[in-house]
Amino acid sequence: MLQRMVIGLPLLLLLLGAAPEQPRVTDKEAQKRTIADIRNTGTAMFAWLTDQVGAAAAGQSQTEQPVSNVELKHYPPVTREQLRKVLVPTYIQEVPETDGWGNPYEYYLNTADPMAPQVMGIRSAGRDGEFSAASYTVGPFDPEDYDEDIVWADGFMVRWPSPKR
């Protein structure tokens, strides 16, 4: 009898609409997942760019002097659905909708002019869900500052958590 009650309790909770509690993801795990999502999606975007303009032209833009400031106003925003149409299934299996904290990513991709100086970008608002800027100075931030934006553009991390030493 006790065994039936123990087995039946999760089913009863499910029927009543009470789902078993899911383990909470730590901020460090959320940040790590966000970095992985951005890198994977960025790699897919860069593969798309390479196919659009050829390996030589795509590589050329990456050998120029690194920029010290990235202004997102120069990048055309795209929705996740628009990006999915471009990347899935050829370049990536799925385009992530939300970062490790459950906040939506912002995507940028210049499909009209892939030879433009600013072509692609991704950003996460971090734990607080609030973007801190539209212009970013390239460089790392304290990895324990989980509210910092994480930004990738044109093949490079723009804002990222630096490893602790």
pLDDT of residue 156: 95
C-alpha 94/C-alpha 41 separation (Å) is: 9
pLDDT of residue 163: 83
Instruction: Please enumerate in sequence order all residues whose Cβ is within 8 A of that of 101, keeping only pairs 6 or more positions apart, or say none.
Output: 27, 30, 34, 124, 126, 127, 129, 146
What are 51-95's pLDDT values in tens digits?
Answer: 998 854 545 544 454 689 999 999 999 999 999 999 999 999 999
Amino acid at 151: V
Task: Report yes or no on whether pTM surpasses 0.95.
Answer: no
Q: Are the C-beta atoms of 148 and 132 separated by less than 8 Å?
A: yes
Least confident window among 5-19, 55-69, 133-147: 5-19
What are 102-127's pLDDT values in tens digits?
Answer: 999 999 999 999 999 999 999 999 99
**Read out DSSP for 125-162?**
-TTTT----SEEESEEE-TT-TTS-EEEETTEEEEEEP
Domain range summary for the chain, segments of one domain joined by +: 27-161
